[in-house]
């Protein structure tokens, strides 16, 4: 049995008078639906939006990209560039949801459960673990310590679970922290010398916070925290999504063409497609160029300026702005020479 009011939900409105069992099942279904819609829908919408931005807002260029960039490529490209943001959003939802859930569970029944709690209720544990794993391999090393309190909160792993007695528990925690600080000691010294205070705080403080982050929150805090964090996570995702939308889908190249004997030109842009007749280039400064294949003399892959490091800090020779995946990748292919053509800007025929 279901009341018509329940099929047209008003999330902000009062709880409709429903039998307790049906209400719960209905809510679970709705929460599950909204969660999975967000997880699948957001990347899909983003991927399409990105094409429009990549095309420079031109309808015909967007259509050219749509025609040439396959769905799988688009999704893979999106995951490569947005995995960090996606996992950050999921980790935030799971960590906050779990903290709020344990707090709400101790309150009298009938209290409306916050959105994140409902999401956490409906999400399988493996999905939460997978999100944390994705974050572990895609987040910059500098931000990885934040994953410790988030993980501890998401799975409510209080220090008491290490050992039931205080002394062995303290010893275990002490050993853990000592090892952690030993790993980071050279980096912290460097950060101190470079006056990178935020980096020092981000490396040292989060594991300490992990000791206190479990457990219920005071009743007075729950409602404001739930509303503020829901709004904040949404706002952060939108704010962080803008650069992701404007991140190119296609790799950046510099193509050297020789349009007449002795007259060469560098075109900085993205290769959309290559066929027997033309190389189709989406120029970095805008516009599409169809270059005859026989005029192409050289082509090099170039990094974009967004990839420039902001810090000069390393953790055991891994750059702090690299993710674990990137750091390991650099060990497999350690020498990376920037081709001279990448330094050049678009210029007319020489």
Partner 1 sequence: MNEVPPRHRLRSVATTLAVALTLTLAAAAGCDNRREPSLPSVLDKLRESHVDGQPRIKIGVATTEPLMGELRNGAHTGFDVEIARYIASSLGFEGDQRIEWVTLSTEDRIPALQAGTVDLVVSSFSITEERKKLVSFAGPYFVTTQEVMVPTRLKDRIRTIEDLREPGYRICTSGGSTTEAELEKHQVKAYVVKDVGDCVEGIRKGRFDAVSSDETILAGFLSRYPTEFEIVDMPFGTSEQLGIGVPIGDPALRDLVAFFLHKSYLEGRNGISSPWLSAYNRTLGPWLKGGRSQPQPLDVPKLVDFDDKAPRR
Binding site for partner 1 (CB under 8 A): 92, 95-96, 99, 140, 142-143, 146, 149-150, 153, 198, 201-202, 205-206, 209-218, 221, 225, 229, 232, 236, 239-240, 243, 264, 303, 305, 307-310, 312, 314, 317-319, 321-322, 326, 330-331, 334-345, 347, 350
24 vs 347, beta carbon nearer partner 1: 347
CB of 232 to partner 1, least distance (A): 8
Other C-beta atoms lying within 10 Å of the C-beta of residue 68: 14
Report d(CA 195, CA 232) in Å as an integer.
Answer: 29
Nearer to partner 1, 175 or 232 (CB): 232
Q: Which of 76, 59, 86, 57 is nearest to 251 (CA)?
A: 76
Give min distance, CB of 150 to partner 1, in A. Answer: 7
- Which residue lies nearer to partner 1 by CB, 150 or 250? 150
Give the separation between CA 127 and CA 290, rounded to whole angstroms.
45
If the CB atoms of residues 74 and 257 are measured against partner 1, the closer one turns out to be 257
- Our CB check for partner 1 shows the closer of 231 and 277 to be 231
Min dist CB 336 to partner 1, Å, is 5
β-pair partners for 255: 267, 299
The residue behind tokens 């001279």 is: 340
**Least separation in angstroms between CB 305 and partner 1:** 6
* Closer of 289 and 314 to partner 1 (Cβ): 314
Instruction: Output the smallest distance, CB 291 to partner 1, in A.
Output: 19
State the minimum distance, in angstroms, from the CB of residue 198 to partner 1.
6
Rounded to whole angstroms, how far apart are CA atoms 121 and 31? 9
User: Least Å distance between CB 1 and partner 1?
Assistant: 36
Helices 125-138 & 147-154, crossing angle to 10 degrees?
Answer: 180
Quote the CA–CA distance of 210 and 192 in Å, as a whole number.
23
Place of tokens 């902001």: 310
Provide the token pair at 73. 């490529």
90: tokens are 């999921």
Q: Are 85 and 42 in contact (CB under 8 A)?
A: no
Report the residue number, 29 or 183, with the smaller CB distance to partner 1. 183
Q: Which two tokens stand for residue 105?
A: 């569970």
Residues 288-322 as b or e (16 or more Cβ within 10 Å = b) = bbebeeebbeebeebeeeeeeeebebbbeebbbbb
């Amino acid at each position: 049995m279901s009341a018509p009011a329940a099929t047209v939900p008003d999330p902000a409105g009062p709880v409709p008078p429903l039998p307790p069992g049906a209400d719960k099942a209905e809510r679970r279904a709705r929460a599950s639906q909204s969660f999975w819609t967000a997880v699948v829908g957001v990347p899909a919408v983003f991927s399409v939006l990105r094409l429009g931005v990549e095309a420079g807002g031109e309808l015909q260029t967007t259509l050219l990209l749509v025609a040439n960039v396959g769905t799988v490529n688009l999704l893979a490209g999106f995951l490569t560039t947005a995995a960090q943001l996606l996992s950050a959003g999921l980790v935030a939802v799971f960590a906050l949801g779990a903290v709020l859930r344990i707090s709400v569970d101790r309150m009298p029944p009938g209290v409306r459960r916050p959105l994140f709690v409902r999401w956490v209720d409906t999400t399988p544990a493996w999905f939460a673990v997978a999100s944390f794993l994705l974050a572990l391999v895609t987040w910059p090393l500098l931000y990885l310590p934040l994953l410790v309190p988030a993980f501890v909160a998401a799975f409510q792993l209080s220090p008491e679970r290490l050992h039931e007695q205080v002394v062995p528990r303290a010893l275990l925690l002490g050993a853990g922290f000592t090892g952690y600080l030993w790993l980071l000691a050279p980096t912290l010294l460097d950060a101190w010398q470079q006056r990178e205070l935020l980096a020092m705080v981000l490396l040292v403080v989060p594991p300490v916070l992990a000791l206190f982050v479990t457990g219920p929150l005071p009743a007075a805090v729950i409602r404001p925290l739930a509303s503020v964090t829901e709004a904040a996570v949404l706002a952060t995702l939108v704010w962080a999504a803008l650069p992701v939308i404007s991140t190119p889908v296609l790799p950046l190249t510099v193509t050297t063409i020789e349009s007449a004997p002795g007259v060469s030109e560098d075109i900085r842009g993205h290769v959309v497609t290559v066929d027997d007749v033309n190389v189709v280039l989406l120029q970095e400064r805008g516009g599409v160029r169809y270059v005859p294949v026989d005029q192409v003399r050289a082509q090099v892959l170039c990094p974009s300026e967004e990839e420039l490091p902001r810090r000069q800090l390393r953790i055991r020779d891994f750059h702090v702005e690299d993710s674990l995946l990137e750091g390991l990748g650099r060990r497999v292919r350690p020498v990376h020479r920037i081709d001279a053509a990448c330094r050049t800007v678009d210029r007319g025929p020489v």
